[in-house]
Amino acid sequence: MLLHNDRLFPAEPKVRSIARSLYERVRGLPIVSPHGHTQAAWFATNDAFPDPAMLFVQPDHYVYRMLYSQGVSLDDLEIGQAVMKDPRKVWRIFASHYHLFRGTPTRMWLDFAFQELFGLEERLSEKTADAYYDTIAAKLLTPEFRPRALYTRFNIEVLATTDSPLDTLEHHAAIRSSEWKGRIVPAFRPDSVVDPEFAGFADNIAKLGAQTGEDTATWDGYLKALRKARARFKALGCTSTDHGHPTAQTADLSKAEAAKLFEKVCTGKASAAEPELFRAQMLTELAQMSLEDGLVMQIHPGSVRNHNRRVFERYGRDTGADIPRATNYVDALRPLLDRFGNESTLTIILFTLDETTYSRELAPLAGHYPCLRLGPAWWFHDSPEGMMRFREQVTETAGFYNTVGFNDDTRAFLSIPARHDVARRIDCAFLARLVAEQRLEEDEAHEVAHELTYGLVKKAYRL
């Protein structure tokens, strides 16, 4: 067996037994997935997933990042190829390097999918590579492995994708008008039209104008267009927006200043610092819109995107070369909080790649401002140790109720149950320690475990 029933629970028998008992009552709860990067098209068309390599290796930057770090060529992995020439060869490379993932969450997510979905019980290795490939490939052709069937099997209650304002959302519309009852909702991620350094920014603004019938050459028209785009998302079930900026900087310019800045960033006249100022101003503008239309804001700052220039130039965005940077919140958020911080009908969910801010900035901020909540441990920190550090470092100041449950945040649909399972286990492990150390009563721990798994995410994301 690849998985043990008690995995991730502390070894001490008393704590383990409490963890097990807490987990038993949340393990079967539906999955609420308010933020991720799956594709609505999968559920609209319900086509079979392709071969094992296209499913497990190509889209998963956690996987090929590690392989690349140890000298495996991205070409040999056929990264970026729309159709793989030799997926079995890619799979064999992956299998023969599987030991690299020891001690990583990727290993745990993969083993979960291998065992729970495909019934595989012998460890993946060079030796078992072909047997794995054949088993998985065969199952992927069966109806039980179509996206909609898996959605049901995974016990998903709602699944949010992440979409550009320029997206037609045709797949979301198709799903809603279909007879299928799965709840797939878009999230509004406007980076392409609010970040002047996004490739094609000026064109994107123009497209936004064309799409909404607004004159996006003007500041007023641009804001109206964003409002219309948001309304279009909302009509398809969207409840949240998402903002992936290099920093958490916000600004609160006068209308005249903002309009002037907008003109500069659209016409290539901006100074080196002004794109950042524009993004900063836009967070505040978007908070204003959220106050109006009720969409929950998510801020995901602090990633240096495309750090590896050569890999970026050859393989494009999101190919595994983003690296976190130290991130300030206490000063950066102040302009926005000065305006909206005390609005209790506004919800802004903060994420970080800089764990030093958990206890120093984020928990004190979320433990005071009514509009702020803390998103779960993100990306590199979405791991057993990372999740545990999150709880240990934020709970004492922000409590449990200023957090928002779990995000799987994944492109890898098949890893969703595994990721939620890890989060549930770690939360139960943390709570079990509190109970065992007489810092929390067991009945309260059960209530909290339910909230961390199901209640808080529904409430925070208004789902």
CB of 265 to its own copies, least distance (A): 23
Task: Write down the least CB distance from residue 237 to its own copies, Å.
Answer: 26
Residue among 447, 323, 377, 342 nearest 35 (CA) = 377
* 200 part of the interface to its own copies, by CB under 8 A: no
Measured distance CA(316)–CA(210) in Å, rounded = 27
Measured from the CB atom, the residue of 155 and 342 that comes closer to its own copies is 342
Count interface residues toward its own copies (CB under 8 A).
91
For its own copies, give the closer residue by CB, 11 or 273.
11
Residue 274 burial (CB count, 10 A): 16
CA distance 204 to 197: 12
Q: Cα separation of 391 and 386, whole Å?
A: 9
Is residue 250 within the footprint of its own copies (CB under 8 A)?
no
133/87 Cα distance (integer angstroms): 9
Q: Which stretch binds its own copies (CB under 8 A): 47-55, 99-107, 279-287, 455-463?
A: 99-107
Question: Footprint of its own copies on residues 13-42 (CB under 8 A)?
Answer: 14-15
Site for its own copies contains 396 (CB under 8 A): yes
With CA atoms as reference, report the closest residue to 64 among 97, 112, 113. 97
Is residue 71 a contact point for its own copies (CB under 8 A)?
Answer: yes
Which residues have CB under 8 Å from 335's CB, separation 6+?
A: 250, 251, 252, 280, 284
Nearer to its own copies, 202 or 326 (CB): 326
Q: Closest Cα to residue 174, out of 40, 299, 73, 272?
A: 40
We find the least distance from the C-beta atom of residue 91 to its own copies, in angstroms, to be 20
11 is a contact residue toward its own copies (CB under 8 A): yes
Residue 225: CB atoms within 10 A of its CB come to: 24
Spatial separation of the C-alpha atoms in residues 74 and 63, rounded to whole Å:
11
Q: Which of 34, 52, 87, 105 binds its own copies (CB under 8 A)?
A: 105
Binding status of residue 246 toward its own copies by CB under 8 A: no
Q: Say how far apart CA 302 and CA 102 lie, in whole Å.
A: 27
Which of 392, 407, 350, 389 shows the shortest CA–CA distance to 373? 350
Q: How far is the CB of 358 from its own copies (least distance, A)?
A: 9
Q: Which of residues 121-150 bind its own copies (CB under 8 A)?
A: 123
Q: Please, are residues 148 and 47 in contact by the beta-carbon 8 Å criterion? A: no
Tokens of 141: 């052709």
What are 294's two structure tokens? 């009720």
Q: Which of 364, 411, 442, 450 binds its own copies (CB under 8 A)?
A: 364
Which one, 45 or 308, has the nearer CB to its own copies? 308
Regarding 100 and contact with its own copies (CB under 8 A), the answer is: yes
Nearer Cβ to its own copies (50/370): 370
12 binds its own copies (CB under 8 A): yes
d(CA 128, CA 120): 10
Binding segment toward its own copies, per CB under 8 A, in 45-53, 184-192, 216-224, 324-332: 324-332
Task: Select the span of 93-101, 168-176, 250-258, 263-271 touching its own copies (CB under 8 A).
Answer: 93-101
Residue 324 contacts its own copies per CB under 8 A: yes
Question: Which residue from 24, 69, 127, 199 is in contact with its own copies, where contact means CB under 8 A?
Answer: 69
